[in-house]
Structure 1
C-alpha cells in the first residue's frame, strides 16, 4: 500500500468519525430536549462523543506531515 493510499484511507476514516461525532451531538441534544432520559444514558452518549473526539484528534495528527524542527 502506498503512502497516498494510506492518506486516503485516513481521510475517509476521519470523515466518518466527524460524521459520527456530529450525529452523537445531535442525539445528545435530542435526548436532553425530550426531557425523558436518565443520567446514565446521557453520560454514556457524552463519553462516546469524547472518545470520538480523541480519535478525530489522533487521525488528524496522523495526516499531518512530519516537520523537522
Structure 2
C-alpha cells in the first residue's frame, strides 16, 4: 500500500492538481486591482515548471514506441 503513495502515477495526479490550483490562482490574481505583476509572473513561472514536470512524467510512464 505504501508503494501506491509514492508511485509515479500518484505523483502525476498531484502535479496536475497543483497545476489546476495555480491556474485558478492566476485567474484570480489577474482580476485584482492593482495587479501585482511580480507575483503574477512568479505564479506563471511555477505553473510552467509544473507543466514541464507533468510532460516529463507522462513521457516516462507512456513512452512512445518507435515506428
Scaled by the length of structure 1, the TM-score of the pair is: 0.80
RMSD of aligned C-alpha atoms? Answer: 2.1
Q: 1:67 offset after TM fit, Å? A: 2.2
Q: 1:53 offset after TM fit, Å? A: 0.2
Q: Which range is displaced more, 28-37 or 9-18?
A: 28-37
1:19 correspondence with 2:17: yes
Q: Are the aligned partners of 2:29 and 2:36 in contact in 1 as well (CA < 8 Å)? A: no
Paired residue total: 64
Return structure 1 stretches of 4+ with deviation > 6 angstroms: none
Q: Which residue of 1 aligns with 2:42?
A: 44
How far apart are the structure 2 equivalents of 1:10 and 1:50?
A: 19
Q: Are the aligned partners of 2:19 and 2:51 in contact in 1 as well (CA < 8 Å)? A: yes
